[in-house]
Amino acid sequence: MTTYTRPEERLLLGPGPSNCHPRVLQAMASPTMGHLDVKFMAIMNECMDLMRLVFGSSHPVTIPVSGTGSAGMEASLVNFIEPNDRVVLGVAGLFGERMVDIAKRQGAQVIEVKAPWGQAVDMDELEAAVSEAPTKLVGLVQAETSTGVYHDLKPLAAIARRHDALSVVDAVTSLGGMPVLVDELDLDIVYSGTQKCLSCPPGLAPLTVSPRALDVLLNRKTPVSSWYLDLTMISRYFGKERFYHHTAPVNMIYALRESLMLIAEETLEATWARHAENSTALYAGLAALGLPALPRPDQRLASLCVVRVPDDVDEAQVRNRLMKNYSMEIGGGLGELKGKVWRIGLMGYNSSARNVNYCLTALGSELKAQGQKISVDAALKEAAEQFTIPV
């Protein structure tokens, strides 16, 4: 008899996916309906309303793209870029580089404004690049998952408006854990993913598109290069017309709606504050374990902590032992940071004081096993001082 591998319970404190809230998993197990069923359409509408709440967006085209966050990235670029368009992209890590790759595949003239990994893009340099010639689009990753670096979106939005360009923002690791504020900042195209701060399984990419950007899309000179991600068709499917485009992932829509309801119940402000407090506490404890932060304090994400690994520590072995001994996952470095950093996520349902303490205890124990002269109790004390409510 064939024996198949069964999933195991893990504490997912890496860069994503994060653990799903039990209510989200329960919602996902609800009966599947037809994707054009009137009851499902009502659920879809509720999901889109909740997406607007979390994005801080009033844009009618606010939809869950069927695919992971990378599908959201691709949809946000292929729909608005035509051959020879001038595009300026800030690059501060792997996912900025991925935006560049997609834009170049569309035949765009891509200008990269780079920052060293672990630092934010200089906004004066970004504007200088935009001002050199008429620019169709200017883009940036708000939450760079490869480095833990945060970008303030207010300057980006202002640059786009001053130079009559569309703004594109990657909020995959920030939506639900940090403010995005689409309407307040006047952002055009913002995409995310479900598997991080939304505490939902991977599989959908929330996307919001401004009327200004939609007008650009509808006046393209060439067809959108991707049929599946063509927003001129997808927006009709999610709009009043319900024009058939593809079979929506029905149960994933249930899951996303439930995850957004959880945020609405907690309130956005309380959700953001919880992520900020737990991140601050974890960084304080990690510093006490001899693990300095990669980004500087004013450029750190509240959803993902990235710290340097000591030279005399086998970082892969530590991660493997954390999985074996504690069923806990943390992430290693990508690209030029491979083997040099750990990426520890506190996203959505996982952003809790309990997980901060568990992570510090487990990681500290494994560091001591590698000969590091550290105190786990001191790390827990440093973290505890950051909590507003004693734990």
CA 126 to chain centre: 22
Residues 162 and 37 in one domain: yes
Confidence label for 205 from pLDDT (cuts 50, 70 and 90)? very high
pTM to 2 decimal places: 0.95
Same domain membership, residue 345 and residue 315: yes
Q: How far apart are CA 255 and CA 271, in angstroms?
A: 18
Residue 243 confidence (pLDDT): 74
Neighbours of 328 (CB within 10 A): 22
* Mean of per-residue pLDDT scores for the chain: 96
* pLDDT > 90? residue 225: yes
- 207 and 322 co-located in one domain: no
Give tens-digit pLDDT for 165-174.
999 999 999 9
Sorting pLDDT into bands at 50, 70 and 90, what band is 208?
Answer: very high
Same domain flag for 235 and 88? yes
In a domain, 7, yes or no: no
Tens digit of each residue's pLDDT (9 = 90 or more) over 323-335:
999 999 999 999 9
Regarding whether 182 and 81 lie in a shared domain, the answer is yes
Give the rounded distance of the alpha carbon of 235 from its chain centre.
22
Residue 155 lies in a domain: yes
pLDDT reported for residue 389? 60
Domain-embedded: residue 14:
no
Domain assignment of residue 299, given as a range = 268-384
Per cent of the chain over pLDDT 90 is 93
- State how many domains the chain has: 2
CATH code of the domain in which 341 resides: 3.90.1150.10
